[in-house]
Chain A
Amino acid sequence: MPPRLNLTSAAFRALSLRTAAAPSAAQPLSQKLLAVAAAPVTVVARRFYSDNLTPDSQPPKSSEIPPSNLVPELSQDAAAAQKKLQNVNALNRLEMVAYGLNPFDAEEEGHKYGLPSLPLPSELHKDHRYDDVLGQVTRLLMKDGKLSKAQRDMAMILNYLRTSPPPKLNPLRPLIPGSPAPHFLPLDPVTYLRVAIDSVAPLVRIRGFRGLAGGGRNLEVPAPLAARQRRRTAFMWILDAVQKRKSKGSGRKMFPTRVAEEIVAVVEGRSNVWDKRAQVHKLGTATRANLMNAQIKNFL
């Protein structure tokens, strides 16, 4: 969670607009007399401004206003209008009940849908709007910097996944532990994609140290990958496999369909990406003894 959200929250509160003004400050003199009864409301309303750092001048206390002869007696119509004005708050509250909000919550007053609870959930931040894997993978799909196109492609991939029949799993290619049952996957396409990528993500990569094996040969050493790197590698392998797939049609759905078909193939264990992963892991186990090389030890 970026810290600036918390820093600015106080400022937002102070700036928040109010549809109904605080009675004591905004009402004309004649109405202030009537506002005496609503004194507790006034107190609640004032509380909003307590976040302001600079205290404004002392609010005029309605009880202290001297009775004035300048204020004319209220006519019948005016009195009715007065009553209606008085009910505005109550009507607003009823409206809030209709929206499913607590009408007496001081936080909600003056906001149609209330203030969001802080800290904000991550998807409300513009840079973390989507699922983390989805966001990363979409950028890997992108060509020529056309993110919007990539996002649309990704949406089509997800729609393909949620309309495809449940995958038939291959027991020889077990998915990542903790993945949901296959019949559940099409209902949650994001998880479907996640499971596919995480299942074929390699644990290590092979680093070559030039000349350390003697005679100018590379010394191959396995190195662990972080989660994001693992997913990147896996998805690049998937994209390579997509490139090799034959294009059967044309139009904007073709590319997403091919990617989605490959993802289904991964989950069903038909994809060649599994072999790539196995190969890397095999090499990793074979070369792990090289970690004991003195120079490598010093380097690492």
Chain B
Amino acid sequence: MSATNCLRCLSRPSVSRGVVVPVFAPTRTAAAFSTTAVQNAMPSKAKSAENQDRSVKVYRAGRKMTIKKKSTTDRGKPPGPGERKAFRKKIVLSNDNALPVPWVPEMEAGSLSDPKQVGKIVSLPATLQDQLRATEAFQPTQTWGLFRKPSTLVREESVQLMGKMEKAVADKTTARIVLTGEKISGKSTMLLQAQSHAYLNGWIVIHLPDAQELTNGSTEYSPIPNTENPTLYMQQNYCLKLLQSIKKSNEKILAKLLSVSSHSELPQNITVNQPLLSLINAAKEAEGAWPVFQALWSELNAPAAANRPPILLSLDNLPHIMKPSAYRSSAFEPIHSHDLSLVKLFVDALSGNTRFPSGGAVIAATNRNNGPRIPSMELALKQRLAAQKGEEVERKDPYFKGYDERVERVLRSVEVLEVNRIGKREARSLMEYWAASGLLRTTVDEQTVSEKWTLGGGGVLGEMERAALLTMRV
């Protein structure tokens, strides 16, 4: 088929192709007195609003565009400061609709370290719940609120961890452990178990619930006088909060412990043989919180005192303190997290520089959800793990610049404990507990266990909870 249009000039064949007549612009006769062509003259300006002739009414061609304002409905008083966050962080520990499970025993001092208890569920006693609440060991994303009573599964890793803690106390050494593992595999719960074990065995527990709060610039900071090269910084508001949580959770033990030296530098003079509780009470305001905390720490680690209890120092979200913090020095240089005094205290203990007189443990848990990537930390943990297993240790990448010497020094000799996926046996006992609580409405047999175990990424505990408890198939 031939084209209807000429392919060169796009004219139709029906149109006769005569001589092309050039079209000129219509000529205008120029004014006699002007030598300039009309076309060259400047175009006349539009009349401004003031100069416009008002007698002639001008109608617009189109409609005037109006933007309707959205009607804002009054919803009453907005939530007060902190109220919204309080909702987000609210922790509920019981559900009255869930059935009580009679065969779950209460946790005792030896429950978590007994290898026979592996795969069993134990519930937390009421006093322990209050202590753990005070240290913020429970997290709002965990599923405590679904059950009648907060309970936890004794895993193989928990028995290993508690065994290490007990051994450290027997040898009067410090167990320095980093918990690693996949996302929602139960690292924070493992920390909670370590704390429970410590509380039930009469330890002193100091827990930093979220390392992020220390380094992301959300609390006030100030340089500590007379520290140079490097300058250290204190976070007094955070210290006060920490002191209060220590006081609330360790009240009974601290009331019995007596001070071994006098602290005249504190606002409230503390003399020898005063209970440590009164020492903590000396911190009434954020102003003097750091010196009080320092005094408490030196008292707890006093070598002269014969019978100090073991200490558990724990921290969640480790990677956040293994990088430069969001704070700046007076020269606007970023401050390394290890120059923040509270972090330094923890890091010294983790690296083994601080010795606890009657033994204890320093436990840190990594986090995978919003944790920053710290190449030095990741490498160090991999190396420690490989060394523990007797495998070949991975070398540093010689061409990579992002390593941090200070981080490596801290993690040079720590022990790494992997929080792995749970086995089907443990999964079964957990699911039987869910079913007995009335939350899993199926028979728990080989097939359902296998199904949930597989849906949960092959036994990742948090994923199993999501598959069975946070689902539309109730």
Contacts and interface: CB of A to CB of B under 8 A. Distances in A.
Contacts of B471: 155
B404 interface: no
A99 interface: yes
A163 B92 contact: yes
B43 interface: no
Given A162-B97, A163-B95, A165-B96, A249 B83 contact: yes
Contacts of B79: 246-249
Contacts of A130: 472-473
B59 to A, nearest CB: 30
Contact of A158 (B84, B447, B472): B472
A251 B87 contact: yes
A188 interface: yes
B181 to A, nearest CB: 23
B85 interface: yes
B470 interface: yes
Interface in B25-83: 73, 75-76, 79, 83
Given A130-B473, A151-B472, A158-B472, A250 B84 contact: yes
Nearest to A249: B87
Interface in A138-160: 138, 151-152, 154-156, 158-159
B146 A159 contact: yes
B100 interface: no
Nearest to B470: A155
A189 B83 contact: no
A291 B83 CA distance: 54
A249 B88 contact: yes
B288 interface: no
B87 A155 contact: no
Interface string A72-115: 00000000000000000000000000011000000000000100
A99 B446 CA distance: 7
A49 B77 CA distance: 74
Contacts of A228: none
A159 B470 contact: yes
Nearest to A99: B446
Given A113-B447, A244-B73, A189 B474 contact: yes
A152 B470 contact: yes
B88 A123 contact: no
A190 interface: yes
A187 interface: yes
Interface in A207-224: none
Interface string A111-146: 001000000000100000111001000100000000
A46 interface: no
Interface string A245-260: 0111111011000000
A246 B188 CA distance: 33
A99 B447 CA distance: 9
A188 B470 contact: no
Contacts of B97: 162-166, 186-187
Q: Which of A151, A156, A247, A249 has the most CB of B within 10 A?
A: A249
Interface residues of B, number: 27
B145 interface: yes
Contacts of B87: 248-251, 253-254
B85 A250 contact: yes
A134 B146 contact: no
B438 interface: yes
B445 interface: yes
Contacts of A99: 446
Size band of the A side of the interface?
A: 35 or more
B86 interface: yes
A147 to B, nearest CB: 11
Contacts of A251: 87-88
A33 B76 CA distance: 90
B84 A246 contact: no
A250 B88 contact: yes
Nearest to A134: B472
Contacts of A246: 75-76, 79
Contacts of A129: 473
A248 B83 contact: yes
B438 A187 contact: yes
A273 to B, nearest CB: 17
Contact of B472 (A113, A138, A253): A138
Contacts of B445: 100
A162 B470 CA distance: 12
Q: Which of B79, B85, B86, B472 has the most CB of A within 10 A?
A: B472
Given A130-B473, A154-B472, A163-B146, A248 B84 contact: yes
B92 A155 contact: no
Contacts of A186: 97
Contacts of A244: 73, 75
Contacts of B83: 248-249
Contacts of A159: 146, 469-470
Q: Which of B76, B85, B146, B473 has the most CB of A within 10 A?
A: B473
Interface in B430-446: 438-439, 445-446
A274 B84 CA distance: 30
B473 A123 contact: yes
Contacts of B470: 152, 155-156, 159
A72 B79 CA distance: 90
A156 B145 CA distance: 12
A209 B87 CA distance: 49
A162 to B, nearest CB: 6
A246 B74 CA distance: 10
Contact of B84 (A164, A190, A249): A249
A165 B94 CA distance: 12
Contacts of B447: 113
Interface string B424-465: 000000000000001100000111000000000000000000
Given A250-B87, A250-B88, A158 B474 contact: yes
A154 B92 CA distance: 20
Given A130-B473, A164-B97, 15 more contacts: A113-B447, A138-B472, A156-B470, A158-B472, A162-B95, A162-B439, A163-B92, A188-B474, A190-B474, A244-B73, A246-B76, A249-B84, A249-B86, A250-B88, A253-B87
6 contacts: A100-B445, A163-B95, A165-B97, A248-B79, A248-B84, A249-B79
Interface of B: 73, 75-76, 79, 83-88, 92, 95-97, 145-146, 438-439, 445-447, 469-474
Give the 8 A-B residue pairs with the shortest CB-CB distance, closest first: A249-B87, A251-B88, A250-B84, A186-B97, A163-B95, A246-B75, A249-B84, A155-B470
